[in-house]
Structure 1
Amino acid sequence: MHILIPTDLSSNALNAALFALELYGAEGNTFTLLHCYAMPRHGESILWNIDDLMRKNSEEDLSEFVTSLRAKLPGMRHRLEMKSERGYLPEVISVYKNRPNAPDLVVMGTQGATGIEHVLMGTNTADVIKRGGMPVLAVPAQAVFKLPKHIILTDDSDPVDPATTRVLLDIVKSTGAMVIVLRMINEDVHVGPEEPSVCSFEAVLSAVAHAHVYMDGEDLAGVLDDQIRRSDAEMLAVVHRERGWVEGLFHRSAAARLAMHTHVPMLVLQQPVLQ
Structure 2
Amino acid sequence: MSEELLSGGLANAGAVVRDGPHVLRPVTPYTPSIHRFLASLERSGFQGAPVPVGLDPDGRERLSFIDGDVPVPPYPDWAQSDSVLASAADLMRRFHTAASCFDPSPMAWNTELADPAGGRVVCHNDVCLENVVFRDGRAVALIDFDFAAPGRPLFDLAYFARMCVPIDDDVSASRLGWHDADRGHRLRLVAESYGLEVAERAELLGLLDRSMQVGGEFVRRRAEAGDPSFVKIWEEMGGQQRFDRRRDWWAKHRPHIESTVLAIGGR
Q: Give the TM-score, by structure 2 length.
A: 0.28
* Highest RCO, 1 vs 2 (Cα 8 Å, sep ≥ 6): 1
Larger radius of gyration: 1
Q: Give the TM-score, by structure 1 length.
A: 0.28
